[in-house]
Chain A
Amino acid sequence: MSTTVTRPATSGRAPAAPRRRPRTFGRRAGRATTYLALVLASLVTLVPLVVIAMASLKTGAEFRAEGPFDPPRTWLNPDNFVRAFTDGKMLRAFGNTAIILVVSVAGTVLIGSMVAYAIDRFRFRMRGAVLGAFLLAALVPGVTTQVATFQVVERLGVFNSMAAPILLFTGTDIVSIYIFLQFMRSIPHDLDEAATLEGANRFTIYWRIILPLLKPAIATVVIVKGVAIYNEFYIPFLYMSSRELGVISTSLFRFQGPFSAEWEVISAGVVIVILPTLVVFLLLQRWFYNGMTAGAVK
């Protein structure tokens, strides 16, 4: 099946609202069941996160004396956050994550759009084979090939450097290529041809015309890829073992040892990691839904 990336509509609901029917007892019971199910599902989703947030605000003594549902004595207790942030080396982790994220996302956008441009706007021998090679790669589960990717990374001499995850994130992303391909098909050829008549070469066309027109697709890829990189655990864990190169996931993972007896500090670390995701999600909700639908249906 195919999906297209479009600018999110302002009304997110397609089906027309059914006309009101007379309210019978059965219909009311049905509606009540619906809301009950929705509220229950929301509780199951939110409770594990809310109790962690509460734990992060308790002092050590409070935490040990109380149950998980007892509210913290004060809702303004920064101590655990300060400790998690400083002892957990989270500032450096955010810095490392930011560098890797920005470079990888930029690389992904360039690579993906170049492939889509070459495949959609040119007719050349082996074109089908090239497209097939990219699409087939989408079926290979990333985590399995790590046993052998490790050799490649070592041979390249980038083991234990930021270059390793950057190369892997940039070089193994088929989803974004697919998103760009889908979107590229909807850009009319007249513009390319007009520019060609003006004397622009293919590189100018790609850089000056195609890339700017791909903006909605680029936004989608940036979001999907950005979240994926921010959350990636195993690649940095495997290829950047030195502590100075800790990213968000690996730094949080290392809380297990030193803070194992201090759940209130671990909880604060968890909250620090989740908050940026929550803020970005609230700001860009519609783009997320679009992106996930476009990205998952490879």
Chain B
Amino acid sequence: MPLTQTPRAGWRGSRIAHAFPRNLTPWLFLLVPLALLALFTYVPVGTMLYYSLTDWDGLRRNADFVGLENYVEIFTRPELFEVFLVSLYYFGASFVQIALALYFATVLSFKVRFANLFKGILFFPYLVNGVAIGFVFLYFFRPDGVLDTVLALLGGEGLTRQWLGDPAAVNYSLAGVSVWRYTGLNFVLFLGAIQSIPGERYEAAELDGANRWQQFRYIILPGIRPVLGLMFILAVSGALSVFEIPYIMTGGANGSETFVIQTINTRFKFNDFGLASAMAVVLLGIVLLVTWVQRRLVPEERES
């Protein structure tokens, strides 16, 4: 995302008189959008910052200022801190996702029969309703369900366990669902990047006798570097803000609670608005920090 813009060369404003002052016109177009932006993005962020320094419960009339107490609590109460560890499962899963997506995007960018069919199949899960996915995989993981039956067919009955009930297995199961759901998106992004590489390069490489691996190494890999950078941001912020699938499937039970589920529960179940705000601020801070670091490491191509 380019945050900078260079003014268009040869820009000429029209020199025709208008019904009202020229410099007001753009603001008329921006009035409603800016109001909505302020109302639903910046006001909530501001409120969060403010209340994270108080002990407000979201109900009382008055809030007492408590300084950084909420933040100290997040990093000192182990049960609040432990949910960060759950993110690691999803973070690990996003690497599996990226590797799979890159492999299939590379394979399908060469001549393959039924390419469009495979492309459609791999991408489709990304479009499926999250609640439906939740049920599909509750069914998949239930005792004597789809997974257990497949394992029995393959002679791996000894592996069977309570996929969603066993704290040692639940996060692997849920991270697996996440891979199933999101690999298609990464795959399509890679495919788009690979297909924007000019075809002549492949032809030149072919003439020079480069094999598939060399084509991948010297043509495809440099071409997808910007997308890879984007995916690492998505991997980090995605792993930290996992919410929907565990919330729908387990409600955060058996050790599957994520940071966002905890934040939402703190706010709406336990009415600790101050602490929940502090959690939300911490998450926002991490996401912004990761994005900033990534931007510094990978300079954006300037847009002309």
Known: A51-B146, A55-B139. A18 touches B48 (CB 8 A): no
- From A19, A111, A148, B277 is in contact (CB under 8 Å) with A148
Contacts of B284 in A (CB 8 A): 140-141, 144-145
| A47 to B145 alpha-carbon distance, docked (Å) | 12
Q: Is B196 interfacial (CB-CB < 8 Å)? A: yes
Structural contact, A281 and B120, CB atoms closer than 8 A: yes
Interface string of A134-149 (1 = CB under 8 A from B): 1101111101111111
Structural contact, A273 and B3, CB atoms closer than 8 A: no
CB-based A-B contact count at 8 angstroms: 302
- From B30, B131, B191, B277, A273 is in contact (CB under 8 Å) with B131
The A223-244 residues at the B interface (CB cut-off 8 A) are: 227, 230-231, 233-234, 238
Structural contact, A137 and B41, CB atoms closer than 8 A: yes
Q: Is B82 interfacial (CB-CB < 8 Å)? A: no
Q: How distant is B78 from chain A, measured CB to nearest CB, in Å? A: 22
Structural contact, B129 and A252, CB atoms closer than 8 A: yes
Known: A41-B100, A42-B122, A281-B124. A253 touches B40 (CB 8 A): no
The B1-34 residues at the A interface (CB cut-off 8 A) are: 1-3, 5, 7, 11-14, 16, 18-19, 23, 25-27, 29-30, 32-34
Q: Is B297 interfacial (CB-CB < 8 Å)? A: no
| A14 to B122 alpha-carbon distance, docked (Å) | 19
| A282 to B303 alpha-carbon distance, docked (Å) | 34
Structural contact, B29 and A117, CB atoms closer than 8 A: yes
Q: How distant is A124 from chain B, measured CB to nearest CB, in Å? A: 5
The A1-36 residues at the B interface (CB cut-off 8 A) are: 1-3, 12-19, 30, 34-35
Structural contact, A123 and B135, CB atoms closer than 8 A: no
Q: B126 — nearest CB in chain A belongs to which residue?
A: A292
Structural contact, A298 and B185, CB atoms closer than 8 A: no
Structural contact, B132 and A252, CB atoms closer than 8 A: yes
Show 13 residue pairs from A and B whose CB-CB distance is below 8 angstroms, ordered by the A residue. Answer: A1-B226, A41-B122, A48-B139, A48-B180, A67-B149, A68-B139, A124-B26, A192-B14, A197-B16, A252-B132, A255-B135, A274-B129, A296-B185
Nearest 9 interchain pairs by C-beta: A171-B36, A148-B44, A122-B26, A14-B195, A118-B29, A1-B226, A293-B192, A16-B199, A148-B47
**What residues make up the interface of B, taking CB atoms closer than 8 Å to A?**
1-3, 5, 7, 11-14, 16, 18-19, 23, 25-27, 29-30, 32-34, 36-37, 39-45, 47-48, 51, 58, 100, 103-104, 107-113, 115-116, 118-132, 135-137, 139-140, 144-146, 149-150, 180, 185, 188-189, 191-192, 194-197, 199-200, 202-203, 206, 212, 226-227, 230, 234, 237, 241, 243-244, 247-248, 260, 263-264, 267-268, 273, 276-277, 280, 283-284, 287-288, 291, 300-301, 303
